[in-house]
Amino acid sequence: MIDLDGMVSIPYLKKAVFTGSFRKMRYLIRKQEIDGQDRIQAAVWPGPYIFSATEDEKKTFQDFEFSHEGLQSAVSWLNSQAEERFRTQDGEQA
């Protein structure tokens, strides 16, 4: 399970991109301006490569409100993606 409490915050996202991995899933969380508003954008893709070296077709994105609650929602989404998309055939996490 991905738990980013104390590791990433709204002030951090104002200046930097947070990247990480969970088993075979890679992810990032960043600030993205969409329609003139700051949003949190989360992305997941299969490893082993970094974001810029992975084909766009393999990436999945989701946007959230740029707030603490939005960050919590983004982490919940990352966990749901890990659960739904990155399991092995025997049910274990990949």
Contacts of 36 (CB under 8 A, 6+ apart): none
> Length of the chain, please?
94
Domain with 65 in it: 10-85
Token pair for residue 31?
A: 């600030």
- Residue 56 lies inside a defined structural domain of this protein: yes
pLDDT tens digits, 59-80: 999 999 999 999 999 999 999 9
pLDDT value for 92: 54
| Residue at 94 is within a domain | no
Mean pLDDT of the chain: 93
pLDDT class of 21 with cuts at 50, 70, 90: very high
The label of the residue with tokens 């947070």 reads 18
Question: Number of folded domains in the chain?
Answer: 1
Query: What is the pTM (predicted TM-score) of this model?
Result: 0.88
Residue 2 lies in a domain: no
* Alpha-carbon span 13 to 63, nearest angstrom: 14
